[in-house]
Chain A
Amino acid sequence: MWMYILRRILIAVPLIIGLATITFFIIHMAPGDPMALYRNPEISPEVMELMRKNLGLDQPLHIQYVRWLTSMARGNFGISFTAHRPVADILKETIPNTLQLTFLALLLNLIVGIIIGVIAAIKQYSGVDHAITVSALFIYSMPSFWLGLMMILLFSLLLGWLPASQMQSINADLFDFWHRLWDRIIHLIMPVFVLGIATAAGTARFMRGSLLEVIRQDYIRTAHAKGLSERVVIFKHALRNALLPIVTLTGLSLPFLLGGSVITETIFAWPGMGRVAITAIFARDYPVVLAANLIAAVMVVLGSLLADITYSILDPRIRYE
């Protein structure tokens, strides 16, 4: 098992370098110029050239690439063109914020999705099943920016129950610990809901399908024949097997923990990683874009590795050697 994990990690290294290389060239060759930010009638062309040189953009592309790769290998992500500070600092600030949001959203997604999926499967073709299917489809197709804005209108503007944006109140510094925790929770409710609920709808559909398939298997019939109660059959025998595809799904959605929340982060002014990455792409802030991409690549590799390992825990037939 450990050998397997080690091998997978070793294979991942060239994969990630390859991905980073492709991203590097794509972003540099895409039209648009990071210097556009500074173009200004007051700055002479000579000064612009100098600024370009300061950013290292005057070098041929392959030299820029080698420089970037070597500094990356030393763990140096460079300095953001737009924020004028180390990319590492920016990531250090934003990644925890995003994880807070997306981890809770993932939890919501799994809990709600699995429960609803199981109910729909048990009550297949009943009124409940239809109601769940229709509303899941409805929620799944709803654009998250729209849902977000509607929630702000309803819960912040109309009812005044929840704060519309950001992570904390203006006076959060003055609060005691419990008050601050509560403040954070009420700030999390809407973004977590918006981010988690659409994916929960998808998970529920998946769960339903998977459970229905498992229920038709021979061993379930055997379990029934043994005279086990419906509850035991479903939760002890069927569910565990039906969860396998959900594990894959979750593993693969790991990268979205960092990047998939761009829209939600923007609408709710959540100071996260997705927002930073998107702003950087539009500003052609190469160091930030590349770092964000690298992290996403690592997450994909880690996610699928994690999914495979969980597989072997859930399904004793699977052994990696």
Chain B
Amino acid sequence: MRSTRMEAGLKIFLASWSVLLLTLACGEKGEQKTSQWPPDDRYGGTLVVGEIGDVDALNPLISSTRNASDVEGMLFLTLTEINTDLDSYSPSLAKSWEFSSDHLRLTFHLRDDVTWTDGVKTTAHDVKFSFEKQTDPLIAWSAIRWKEFIEDVQVVNDTTVTFIFKEVYPYQLMDASVGAILPKHLLEHVPSEQMKTCDFNRQPVGNGPFKLKKWISQQTIELVANEDYYAGRPFLDRVVFRIIPDQTSLLAQLKSGDVDLMESIPPQDVPKMERDFLQGKADVRIVRYPSRAYGYIGWNLQNPLFESKKVRQALTMAIDRENLIEAVYFGLARPCHSPISPILWAYNPDMPIFPFDPEEAERLLAQEGWVDHDGDGWIDKGGRKFEFALKTNQGNRIREAITVIVQDQLAKLGIKVNPRLIEWTVFSDQTNRKEFEAIVAGWSVGLKVDLTTIWHSESINDKFNYVSYSNPEVDGLIEMAKREMNRAKAKLLWDEAQRLIVEDQPYTFLYIPEQVNGIHRRFRDVQMDTRGTFNHPEQWWVPRDERKY
């Protein structure tokens, strides 16, 4: 289920990392650049970002749209920042931190020179307040689960704050750092049930490198440099988000230069745009990196058709994934084999991959009794034809295409697939209620290695184990791996859990798409990678003679 659900939480999580400010590194780098470019020359200019949809709120506690987190990442600081290895952290609002000897207490030492844009200092009280709001069930913060093992947050003094954990586990620092720190003095008088509609959501006061100047609904969100930013004002004067709801029109404006940056360029347009840029015919530079999403076909294991592991393996082997990727992604994706993304440390590269092999698939199906007994061209067993509906959400052209390709490929084995395209909210609802036989969907995975919400049997009811996958061995491995502090041992546990899941093939894992963004060539020191689109936006700059605004 790409889009909102999983993504919302994870994107918020991502956003919390996307403002990085490392004083030491910054100073060094800055000096290097100064020798090339006179320092004054980098200040100025505007970045125009094209967005498909408007933002719902600029309050990290409330917002649920993906792009809200991009903007919030420029307005608010987090305690720490994740590094490009997606595994280690750099200081941000916290300049240092340490664990107690029993590893149950994590103490952060905050900078004392960070202020909210209204002039009030950011202190440990804001950190505690943010934690209280993040865990308030009345607010229902979308990433609330990240805080479930935090017992309490205690203020030691204005610049020292301690997180107390219920248990010891590897992701304590990540869990403590997730979520932006919010200004207590502005939000403490807002009752939790009114948080959704309070004025702050449209007039946020932050402490990040940029601040909100103007937000016209459905049109533009204009951020300007925060002159009082603790590490010095950003190079860019302004970042303007323009809302252009039609993708084709947005792409046209990226090409015409009306928009400088666009995320998620449709795959079919990418090869030509890359060629044009290399030949000097276009100004849009394409930036590609592995995304954290993957696409899959989920088999409803409560359905007798998909009960047998061998049948599911046969289904996977009957689908030519390489071909499918070429057809729908124009090569801008790679085959996916595991529930853990290859960008994470716990990925297991040595796993059965069930390659495209229709003969073997046919043999496996026959072994399970699926043969065309009545000679009607479709295989059957016990009088039941192998026929099912393959659902996906309407409007997602890639998934729509996949249902048809799968229909075609499985028909060759005598399996009848009926593609069903369903409007997003309805599809989401039906999937949640397990009213499906098979679905084409996707997940965006978090930076935290955890298979609980999708693969643990406890997640079958009301959570995200839609296919009702249940393997006690996998449950046990997840429980152990989640708590294993020794990285090497944890890796072995995750490896085994992945192997078992892949062996069971509750999903046919399809592809991992590349994230493809376009940005005008005049912007320098742009950092877009698996962490997100906007990393260190305060360091992006435009040479004076190339500025447009």
Contacts and interface: CB of A to CB of B under 8 A. Distances in A.
A26 interface: no
B242 A41 contact: no
Contact of B243 (A153, A156, A171, A269): A269
Interface of B: 4-6, 8-9, 46, 48, 53-54, 56-57, 62, 64, 137-138, 140, 142-146, 193, 196-197, 201-202, 214, 216-220, 240, 242-246, 248-249, 252-253, 255-256, 258, 423-426, 428-430, 432, 453-454, 462-464, 549
Nearest to B142: A40
Contact of A36 (B145, B253, B256, B429): B429
Which one of A54, A153, A165, A284 has the greatest number of beta carbons of chain B within 10 Å?
Answer: A165
Given A84-B201, A94-B218, A170-B242, A164 B428 contact: no
Nearest to A276: B218
20 contacts: A32-B428, A33-B425, A33-B428, A36-B4, A36-B432, A38-B5, A40-B142, A41-B9, A41-B145, A41-B463, A44-B145, A47-B144, A83-B56, A90-B217, A149-B248, A157-B256, A164-B253, A164-B256, A165-B242, A267-B249
Contact of A32 (B145, B253, B429, B549): B429
A114 to B, nearest CB: 31
A31 B368 CA distance: 37
Contacts of B463: 41, 45
Contacts of A42: 9, 142-146
Which one of A40, A149, A153, A171 has the greatest number of beta carbons of chain B within 10 Å?
Answer: A40
A90 B549 CA distance: 30
Given A164-B253, A266-B246, A269-B249, A40 B8 contact: yes
Interface of A: 31-34, 36-48, 50-51, 54, 79, 82-86, 90, 93-94, 148-149, 152-153, 156-157, 160, 163-167, 170-171, 173, 266-269, 271-272, 275-276, 279, 282-284
Given A79-B197, A153-B252, A282 B64 contact: no
B246 A267 contact: yes
For the complex of A and B, list the 9 residue pairs with the smallest distance between their C-beta atoms, beginning with the closest.
A32-B425, A271-B218, A42-B9, A41-B453, A42-B145, A36-B428, A45-B462, A269-B244, A39-B5
A275 B245 contact: yes
Contact of A51 (B54, B140, B143, B202): B140
B423 to A, nearest CB: 7
A212 B140 CA distance: 67
Contacts of A94: 217-218
A32 B423 contact: yes
A36 B424 contact: yes
A84 B145 contact: no
Contacts of A170: 46, 48, 220, 240, 242, 549
A228 to B, nearest CB: 52
B217 A41 contact: no
A244 to B, nearest CB: 39
A167 B428 contact: no
Contacts of A45: 462-463
A93 B243 CA distance: 15
A33 B256 contact: no
A93 B425 CA distance: 26
Nearest to B222: A170
